[in-house]
Amino acid sequence: MKVRFAPSPTGLLHVGNARIALANYLLAKRHGGQFVLRLDDTDTERNRPEYEEAIAHDLRWMGLSWDETFRQSDRLDRYEAAADKLKASGRLYPCFESEEELAAKREMRVKRHQPPLYDRAMLKLTPEQRAKAEAGGKRPHWRFLLSGYPADWGDMVLGPRNVKLTAVSDPVLIRADGTPLYTFTSVVDDLESGITHVVRGEDHVTNTGIQMDIMAALNAGKPGRPAFPRFAHLPLLVDQDGGKLSKRIGALSVRSLRGDGVEPVALTGYLARLGTSDDPAPASPDEMAPTYDLSHVSQSAARFDGRQVLALNRKVLHGLPFEAVQDRLPPAATPAFWTAVRGNLDFLREAKGWWDVVAGSIVPPVIEGEAEFLAQALDALPAEPWDNQVWPDWTEMLKTASGRKGKRLFLPLRLALTGEEHGPELRDLLPLMGRARAAERLRLAAA
């Protein structure tokens, strides 16, 4: 088995593409195959080296590695050779229409209630007409002459699939400036690099039918020639309301999620099981690979729910030992601090705020109507040394002295000591905070 993930370095890695990369990796690892990273970088106007680096960085952060990598821009000679073969067989033909002319043709067909397909007018072009067009400075784009036979395959996710090529326009494979398009380059690469399984999004189903026709024209599937790969199309992701998942401002890029503080095992555990009957659980790719199965993927669209990712992230953090996060905590943080706060974190970066609470400076709010009670609490504050018994002992004394209980007793103290209404247990925080810091905050809050 040999699979590939083929992003275009024209933007950051989006969660939809990250899911495709993960599926390919898991499939290869389960079956002892190879995972290839191919950069589809023939769009010279939009490609950026920084995106190429970012994609590789995000994949590694997710826990993915690859056995081979290459750029399409390094293989232009191979695409040219394949194009020459198709030209010689009459399957790749030159077209001189401008974008305006093509648009006018489509509009006319629509007005006639005909499907807006290309009319293959350029197949009737004589050598003299072509020479005249080129003499006038025109350069053709090149279209692939579809066979018209239906393209059938057994999809590993969607089941039996059929694309009627008579209902599709002959695709442009080479632009007028000579640069090849994805529909063509992907076929050449898949055949020549020995890809056995193509796993990608459901939006490529029609592409698959077209590309199978191109593969056949390049003699794929014939004796002594490369075999057709098997295809699997994962249903697209939708948002929580069932609408198209937005890519605006990189809001769902892997980089933005990582920057927000999502742990890699939370994201990979969620994406691998998204759209399946398996319950999502935090896990690394290598942990999931032995049991990964495409047959578990539903044929229905999968809903991406950020709340579930957040819930998994909490679960990850709540179970991490101090040693696993020590290098990402404030330098002086201790195991006792981590044990105290980890159960209240959505993201690891929030730990810094709680470190400021126990070891730094915060300005507690002035709590209206509570000055007398806070002064009473200050007077009753026990002497050190403190352990985790100081909080229940102190509040029990205050309960007896003030007659308060429940929220009236605990909330003013929590606000004064931490500046927050909710958070980790104060029986754990108070010993870390120390008497001097606690006393100063009670004074400030009572002022």
**Contact of 88 with 57, CB cutoff 8 Å:** no
Instruction: Give me the pLDDT at residue 55, please.
Output: 97
Distance between first and last Cα of the chain: 72
Q: Which two tokens stand for residue 98?
A: 């401008």
Over residues 390-427, the pLDDT tens digits come to 999 999 999 999 999 999 999 999 999 999 999 999 99
Over residues 356-367, the pLDDT tens digits come to 999 999 988 889
Q: What is the enclosing helix (H) or strand (E) of 23?
A: helix 15-30
Q: What value does the mean pLDDT take over residues 375-390?
A: 96
Query: Residue 226: pLDDT band by 50, 70, 90 thresholds?
Result: confident
Pairwise CA distance, residues 313 & 262, whole Å: 6
Q: Phi/psi of residue 174, each to 5°?
A: -135, 130
CB atoms near residue 410 (< 10 Å): 16
Over residues 305-337, the pLDDT tens digits come to 999 999 999 999 999 999 999 999 999 999 999
Core vs surface per residue 159-198: b (16+ CB within 10 A) or e: eebebebeebbbbbbbeeeeebbbbbbbbbbbbebebbbb
Instruction: Give me the pLDDT at residue 243, please.
Output: 80
Strands 141-144 and 92-95: antiparallel
Measuring CA to CA, which residue among 203, 201, 267, 191 is closest to residue 229?
Answer: 191
Pairwise CA distance, residues 43 & 61, whole Å: 26
Instruction: Give me the pLDDT at residue 225, please.
Output: 84
Query: Residue 447: pLDDT band by 50, 70, 90 thresholds?
Result: confident
What percent of the chain is predicted at pLDDT more than 90? 90
Measuring CA to CA, which residue among 123, 115, 195, 199 is closest to residue 157?
Answer: 199
In three-state secondary structure terms, 274 is: coil
Over residues 236-263, the pLDDT tens digits come to 998 877 787 755 434 589 999 999 999 9
Length of the chain: 447
Q: What value does the mean pLDDT take over residues 97-108?
A: 93
Strands 141-144 and 172-174: antiparallel
Mean pLDDT, the chain, whole residue set = 94
pTM for this structure?
0.90
Largest CA distance in the chain: 107
Which H, E and C letters describe 242-270, residue by residue? CCECCCHHHCCEHHHHHHHCCCHHHHHHH
Q: What value does the mean pLDDT take over residues 50-64?
A: 97
Q: Which two tokens stand for residue 350?
A: 């929030």
Q: Which residues pair with 174 in a beta bridge?
A: 142, 180
Q: Which residues pair with 127 in a beta bridge?
A: none
Pairwise CA distance, residues 284 & 269, whole Å: 7
Pairwise CA distance, residues 231 & 297, whole Å: 14
DSSP-derived secondary structure for 30-49: HTT-EEEEEE----TTT--H
Sheet containing 141-144, strands listed edge to edge, beginning at the edge strand earlier in sequence = 92-95, 141-144, 172-174
Instruction: Give me the pLDDT at residue 249, please.
Output: 39
Strands 302-303 and 237-238: parallel
Core vs surface per residue 57-79: b (16+ CB within 10 A) or e: ebbebbbbebeeeeebeebeeeb
